[in-house]
Structure 1
Amino acid sequence: MDIQGQVFRLKFPLRRVHCGVPMGNSDLGVLVFGSGRRLQLEFSLSSCWDHRGATTLGRPCSYRDLVKAYDPYDVSEESRLLQAASVTAQPMPRYPVWWPATRVPGGRFVLTLKAPLKAATLDYASGIVRVDTAAGALELLMDMTRNRLYLRDADALVVATAAEPMWQRLGELFASVDFAPPSRFEDGAGCGWYQPHPADPGMIAQWQQTPFGFCLAAELSEDGDRSCLQPCAGDWSEPLRAAQAWWGAYWQRQPTIAVPDPFYERFWLLALYKFACATTPGGVPSGLQGPWLEDYQRPPWSCDYHFNVNVQQVYTLAFATGNAEHLLPLFDLLESPASQAAMRGNARSLFGIDDGLLLTHAVDDRCGQCGGMGVGAVLDFACGGWMGLLYWQYYRMTGDRRFLAERALPFMRGVMRVFEETLEEHDGRLSIPLSISAEYGCTFAVKVNGRVCRQNSGRDPSNQLTCAHALLNALLAAAQELGESPKPLWLDMKCRLPHFCTVGEGDDAHIGIWEGQDLDVCHRHHSHLAMIYPFDICAELSDDEQLQLDRSIDLWILRGMGQWSEWCYPWAIQLQIRRNFRESPRLLFSFWRELFINESMATVYLPRFQGLTMHRKADMLKPRETHEVMQLDGTMAGATAMLEMLICEHAGTAMLFAGVPDAWRRAAFSDVRFPGGFRISAERAGGRTRFCEVKAERAGALRLQLAPGEEPIDITLAAGERWQWGAKSR
């Protein structure tokens, strides 16, 4: 991608934190905003945690006992058993507020300038944010390898700096859970503070003067020793050269898109930039908000790692954009000794096995559960299954056989062991007697036989069955790639485990949430349709199952969008693209854009106005200055869905322009990575595909559908070979 001259520009005033221009290196996240003569740099560290409240299963809790305790009308006995088996990372007193493991906010440095702010401009090529004032400009630059933000003040605009730790806004909350106040400092070396933690390393932050301006430095610290904040660059050219090299290499491998609506391309570039800032190789893996945690409210959902959809949505963008290495810090987290101990301990407690990996729903950076070990957290086995499929996708994109043998296959096997241990014989087939469908019934009552009840689990949830099949497909393919014999049970599961459960009879039969549970309400988590995406097993469905899926889509549409949040719309678009809905994806994007994208193109969790959604109705009219929540999953899922309107994988086929509406006279993309080591470029104009080019980075076969409704063609290429169809327009 040629990024020279491409910028993202915002005009001041920018009065809210999440309206700021984002900067980051996956650990240090900074948001640049302000008004008048006050420029604010709000920041946090992704590595800064209070781990005390993390929970795991530390005592025996037999899965079969949970199955016996199941009451279709009441989940309380299942929950009681799980909670009795859970242990926290550190015993804590009963606080006035519920306090799980959580990331801890940082704070901000507020700069008083000698002239009013005018505009902030992000130069994508260098990562520099230029802040223009009425009397000159400042330049900000993030170090991509150290937690340093540099500010070049060539016009001597900064006249004063105020240090504002998160305690200034959240001190009462954190004091109530045994945090001590920060110790502040201000001397010739700079100003800042050290925020100690009760049981973890605290954070030390400093604003200090340099020969070219200033440096913001932040690090974890056991004792507040400021020596860890040195050195800072002594010359502006040093970090500038490093940033230009880093960003130059990054943008060189990014694909491009071209569509008539300028919003798509503008959002696409910003999403790619944020992706780099949030998932930097060698850094800290991204959770719900990436490195950008606000300091004005309790961290939403602990700013943790949600593995039932959110983390996967953040990271899936890596594959088509050629950024597979950005997943390695996430895999490192899952394979760390602490995380492995947590997942293996959970599996041991529930199933009595030592070779299983049970990843719970929402965890800290050690895979300790943030939020209690209830049914919704523990019995969602697809959390680990979906992550196993990201391991498999990494191999499909890179062809790294060592990674497959040493990292992907062991993780997938460990997760599959959990699925295996759940199985029982039921009506002449295999069955998962108790699990959940992500978030269904967690925040609302369900109906069983017309009776309102509190139950969010059941037999054979469709998303668990579908995930198991997708993971089995990956394991069987991996075994074949490595010349290993597949486990006989895997073959038996492929034959005897249903693809999904159904409700209704005859011509009314359609996919159920779990056995006996229909989609009774609008539900934001589309996981009962995951056989379409992300688990993509539609190619193996029978004709009857395809009809049942069609009816399920009809019911899903009938239930509406009134409870969807900012990450739900992109997923819905991805489903519709793969079901040949060409006009509705653009309209869904329009709704999404108006409801969930703020003034600086950040995806926000709370809807921006009433009338189209009931999602978080009680919160959507609260003051945004103190309640706005940004989630990165919406941004990355949105960018992924935009690209998939132009090219996506479904049922083993590369589908071109499956989501392009008739109103778009031209659409094109270039250098999109595709599984198998392919790079694809194509153009559509005048209602038909005009050009397609496929480059093979390694030998392989590709099935390609050049346009919606056309028969796919099969292409076999040697490494370095190129295939071309048609011609580019001039």
Structure 2
Amino acid sequence: MTTEETTAALRHTWHFPLPRTHTGALLGNGTLGVMVWGEENILRITLGRADWWDHRGGRQWTGAMNFAAIRRLLEAGDEPGIRSLFSAAPERPGEPRQPSVLPIGRFELVFPEAIKLAIAVLDMREGEISVFATDETGNRLLLGALDIALRSPVLRLRFAANAPLPRVVCVPAWEHVGCHLRSISFREPEIKSDGSGWTQQTPAPDDANLTVRHAFAGRDEWRVSVALDSDGDSKTAADHDFLAASFEARAAWWRDYWRRVPRVDVPGGNWNFLYHYGLYKFASLTAPQGIAATLQGPWIEEYQMPPWSGDYHFNINVQMCYWPAFQSGLWEHLTPLFAMIERWLPILRQNAKKFAGIDDGYLLPHAVDDRCGIIGSFWTGTIDHACTAWIGKMMYDYWHYTGDAAFLRRLAFPFMVGVMKVYSAMFDRLPDGSLSMPVSVSPEYRGASMNAWGRNASFQLAACHWLANALETAAAVLGESPDPVWREIRSKLPKASLVSISGNAGGGGEGGDGRAIALWDGLLPEESHRHHSHLAGFCPFDIFDPDDLRIRPVAANSAGHWVALGMGKWSGWSMPWAAMLHTRFGNTEMPELITDLWERVFTNEGHGTLHDAGFSGFTLMGVPSMDAHSTKGEIMQMDAGMAVTAAIMDALVHVRGGVIHLFGGVSKRRQNCRFENIRVEGGFHVSAVREFGRVVSVRLEATRAGKCVIASPWSLSGKPKNLITLDLAAGEIREIRGKP
């Protein structure tokens, strides 16, 4: 991209009316989130925080929730017994069933009636939104520009010199959810007598109260602070010098951010927009000075309690929120998550002791609050140990990309060892000496029914095998002795559960009659399902390569069956994961088609990313089969949008089995495209150019010494050439050119 093209790619315009909260343009600093929307002469500014919780109702693991008891009850079909193990405490009047992030509210800026909102322009380079309107003569005028302080929960609106000033109306979330809040012992917010804001107290003494204040600073500026009384926010919000420096740092931070990230240019289609706006939202969601990313991040709507409590879901959602960090080189954005996990380690240790009877394990349930309190009574999710393994993978990948051996030694390696200790306690040793997982789950398949489990769930097997491989590699790097169990797992535990298929059950895959990957022993997927867990051995765990002739028939049959079941029960976040799977399956046209479908079906007119479909006819997720185009109560989640951003980079360059593959998910329609400095594991920066459908150059930069293996993008007589292997010194740059 030229400088002008890059500038254009980092600006986007929203056209008013923006009639709902999640149609708004976004600002965020990792803690405070702002949604800018409205219509006619009313500019609405919804405020959210990722860290304001009502923690009541959170549960901890109990001694009764041990593996032996769970196995006994499941094998006996004792549903009341299982429910009693995982059920929440009996409801008490005035108490919530489970913890939740809390909604805050909004401000309405009411301009003179002759003023009509026209457009909101987001400048991603600066992290700033400019709002334009028309006056009574139809002329367009700038009302002002909004931005957020870098390290403080403060929003400002700087008015244009000739802009009329609005009347400000406070709308606490109580006006929408007050009945519910009152039922769980909240009191009505205290509205400031001068109209300058409100304070919402929380019933629990160890939960923070929140104060929202607004004020005009002379004629030119309006400020809003959203402060918790637990963390000194009120003091920093009132510190003029601190705020001035924080706003000044904001612009410099954003400029440095865009200087560092990979450059991507895929003309035609929607990838350039999805990539750049996705990276903008990623920074706003996961800023290193902010809070670990939840389902919604800091963008909490005021009109309802956040779905699923706005919590931490570890069976894919948190992971997806952070997927862009790795290939973009924004590894410091992972630090709030890792710091939170590290604070939880004593709890995870206790969970493992109560579940598996061991003193040296780690076990993370799938849905928790920011104190690692268990949310809900979803027993299959609570025992889904791949959640813990997947966090271990994020830690390992952080080392694999950065080369930070100190991090590997201090946190990642001990954590992975503890995860494997729990897996090891769950094995059966069969008469032939092989290992088996007698009780295992595949995320959300069959919900929490008594048949929602089986032996050798492929999702768990993939996670466990990845973990064994990673532990052996990490031990070698650190000079640690490998545990013999890791090698035993690699040789004696199946990598997947396989079932025989016949006829067209494989959806026309290669190999005819043969085998396909099952959910667990004996169960081929029966229906379309949002979680592609049985295929996790291809992505994200990378224990299978579809090009490996030994696995290819199974891969083809598995992919064929999955495709035949269709997308009819997928959610928004199902789509980018599917795109990445298709990239590995060699279906180069599918990633763009899937992201196109995702944008049409699972985003609204303001690019808000939705969990449920926005209309009927594509999927049954959240909508009926006919005639629905409901926008009431939209469920916004950040996971899919972040994963789409990652899937675009993944389509341009990805690694499987230690080999770099270029343009593996890029449509033939995109004859001319390029990317610069996408990071891959091993510390390499990769750049490549495709012209007229042919790769003409590949550039590799090594941040540390290592061996780089590339699948040649050039062919001879229609067959791929051999792999290209390069030994690169730290700092070395190598360019390979092909014929145009």
TM-score by length of 2: 0.91
3-state SS in 2 of match to 1:724: strand
Match of residue 97, structure 2, among 77, 96, 99: 99
Amino acid paired to 1:214: W
Contact 1:435 1:460 (C-alpha < 8 Å) held by counterparts: yes
After superposition, residues 35-46 of structure 1 pair within 5 angstroms as: 35-46=39-50
How far residue 545 of structure 1 moved from its aligned partner, in angstroms, is 4.1
Q: Quote the Cα distance in structure 1 between the aligned partners of 2:94 and 2:514.
A: 51
Q: Which runs of 4+ in 1 moved over 6 A?
A: 234-237, 619-623
3-state SS in 2 of match to 1:214: strand
How far residue 616 of structure 1 moved from its aligned partner, in angstroms, is 1.8
Q: Is structure 2 residue 698 aligned with structure 1 residue 692? A: yes
Counterpart position of 1:316: 323
Q: Is structure 2 residue 341 aligned with structure 1 residue 340? A: no
Contact 1:696 1:718 (C-alpha < 8 Å) held by counterparts: yes
Q: Is structure 2 residue 86 aligned with structure 1 residue 80? A: no
How far residue 585 of structure 1 moved from its aligned partner, in angstroms, is 2.2
Q: Quote the Cα distance in structure 2 between the aligned partners of 1:264 and 1:95.
A: 48
Q: Quote the Cα distance in structure 2 between the aligned partners of 1:701 and 1:652.
A: 10
Distance 1:728 1:567, change over 3 A: farther
Which piece of structure 1 moves more, 410-419 or 707-716? 707-716
Question: What per-residue deviation string (whole Å, max 9, x for no partner) do you get for residues 603-653 of structure 1?
Answer: 212212212222222499777553111111110111111122211111111
Distance 1:44 1:271, change over 3 A: same
Counterpart position of 2:730: 719
Counterpart position of 1:352: 357
After superposition, residues 587-626 of structure 1 pair within 5 angstroms as: 587-618=593-624, 624=630, 626=632
3-state SS in 2 of match to 1:55: coil
Question: What per-residue deviation string (whole Å, max 9, x for no partner) do you get for residues 632-688 of structure 1?
Answer: 111011111112221111111111011122222212111111111111110112222
Counterpart position of 1:493: 489
3-state SS in 1 of match to 2:661: strand
Match of residue 635, structure 2, among 629, 635, 646: 629
Contact 2:614 2:630 (C-alpha < 8 Å) held by counterparts: no
Counterpart position of 2:480: 484
Counterpart position of 2:461: 465
Q: Quote the Cα distance in structure 1 between the aligned partners of 2:194 and 2:15.
A: 34
Contact 2:153 2:237 (C-alpha < 8 Å) held by counterparts: no
Contact 1:431 1:459 (C-alpha < 8 Å) held by counterparts: yes
Q: Quote the Cα distance in structure 1 between the aligned partners of 2:709 and 2:440.
A: 36
Distance 1:251 1:654, change over 3 A: same
Counterpart position of 1:449: none
Distance 1:368 1:620, change over 3 A: farther
3-state SS in 2 of match to 1:312: helix
3-state SS in 1 of match to 2:192: strand
3-state SS in 1 of match to 2:289: coil
Amino acid paired to 1:712: L
Contact 1:566 1:634 (C-alpha < 8 Å) held by counterparts: yes
After superposition, residues 217-366 of structure 1 pair within 5 angstroms as: 217-221=225-229, 227-228=234-235, 230-231=237-238, 233=240, 238-336=245-343, 339-366=344-371
Question: What per-residue deviation string (whole Å, max 9, x for no partner) do you get for residues 134-179 of structure 1?
Answer: 3432111111211111111233533311111110100001111111
Q: Is structure 2 residue 646 aligned with structure 1 residue 643? A: no
3-state SS in 1 of match to 2:467: helix
Which piece of structure 1 moves more, 679-688 or 541-550? 541-550
Amino acid paired to 1:610: S
Question: What per-residue deviation string (whole Å, max 9, x for no partner) do you get for residues 412-434 of structure 1?
Answer: 11211111111111252111110
Distance 1:150 1:457, change over 3 A: same
Which piece of structure 1 moves more, 165-174 or 259-268? 259-268
Counterpart position of 2:208: 201
How far residue 92 of structure 1 moved from its aligned partner, in angstroms, is 6.0
Q: Quote the Cα distance in structure 2 between the aligned partners of 1:660 and 1:226.
A: 46
How far residue 282 of structure 1 moved from its aligned partner, in angstroms, is 2.3
How far residue 590 of structure 1 moved from its aligned partner, in angstroms, is 2.2
Contact 2:201 2:208 (C-alpha < 8 Å) held by counterparts: no
Counterpart position of 1:519: 525
Distance 1:366 1:541, change over 3 A: farther
Contact 1:36 1:116 (C-alpha < 8 Å) held by counterparts: yes
3-state SS in 2 of match to 1:187: coil
Amino acid paired to 2:439: L
Which piece of structure 1 moves more, 623-632 or 135-144? 623-632
How far residue 80 of structure 1 moved from its aligned partner, in angstroms, is 3.0
Q: Quote the Cα distance in structure 2 between the aligned partners of 1:296 and 1:491.
A: 53
Which piece of structure 1 moves more, 262-271 or 307-316? 262-271
Distance 1:158 1:710, change over 3 A: farther
Amino acid paired to 2:221: G
Contact 2:324 2:642 (C-alpha < 8 Å) held by counterparts: yes
Contact 1:186 1:192 (C-alpha < 8 Å) held by counterparts: no
Percent identity between the aligned chains?
A: 34
Which piece of structure 1 moves more, 15-24 or 434-443? 434-443
Q: Quote the Cα distance in structure 1 between the aligned partners of 2:91 and 2:53.
A: 16
Q: Quote the Cα distance in structure 2 between the aligned partners of 1:517 and 1:375.
A: 20
Contact 1:606 1:619 (C-alpha < 8 Å) held by counterparts: no
Amino acid paired to 2:722: E
Which piece of structure 1 moves more, 527-536 or 252-261? 252-261
Contact 1:61 1:81 (C-alpha < 8 Å) held by counterparts: no
Gaps of 5+ in 1: 446-453
Q: Give the number of aligned pairs.
A: 709
Contact 2:662 2:711 (C-alpha < 8 Å) held by counterparts: yes
Contact 2:278 2:641 (C-alpha < 8 Å) held by counterparts: yes
Which piece of structure 1 moves more, 39-48 or 58-67? 58-67
Q: Is structure 2 residue 129 aligned with structure 1 residue 123? A: no
Q: Quote the Cα distance in structure 1 between the aligned partners of 2:278 and 2:49.
A: 20
How far residue 570 of structure 1 moved from its aligned partner, in angstroms, is 0.7
Contact 2:472 2:482 (C-alpha < 8 Å) held by counterparts: yes
Q: Quote the Cα distance in structure 2 between the aligned partners of 1:38 and 1:455.
A: 52
Counterpart position of 2:588: 582
Gaps of 5+ in 2: 135-140, 503-512, 715-719
Amino acid paired to 1:318: A
How far residue 70 of structure 1 moved from its aligned partner, in angstroms, is 2.1
Contact 2:130 2:142 (C-alpha < 8 Å) held by counterparts: no
Counterpart position of 2:505: none
Distance 1:239 1:118, change over 3 A: farther
Q: Quote the Cα distance in structure 2 between the aligned partners of 1:486 and 1:235.
A: 50
Amino acid paired to 2:495: H
Amino acid paired to 1:101: P
Question: What per-residue deviation string (whole Å, max 9, x for no partner) do you get for residues 422-459 of structure 1?
Answer: 1111252111110100111107x7xxxxxxxx411111
Counterpart position of 1:144: 150
Q: Quote the Cα distance in structure 2 between the aligned partners of 1:658 and 1:539.
A: 13
Contact 1:99 1:177 (C-alpha < 8 Å) held by counterparts: no
Contact 1:62 1:351 (C-alpha < 8 Å) held by counterparts: yes
TM-score by length of 1: 0.92
CA-based RMSD of the aligned residues comes to 2.5
Match of residue 160, structure 2, among 154, 159, 162: 154
Q: Quote the Cα distance in structure 2 between the aligned partners of 1:346 and 1:619.
A: 42
How far residue 381 of structure 1 moved from its aligned partner, in angstroms, is 0.5
Counterpart position of 1:368: 373
Question: What per-residue deviation string (whole Å, max 9, x for no partner) do you get for residues 477-519 of structure 1?
Answer: 1100001110111111111111011122794322111112221
Question: What per-residue deviation string (whole Å, max 9, x for no partner) do you get for residues 452-482 of structure 1?
Answer: xx41111110010110000111111110000
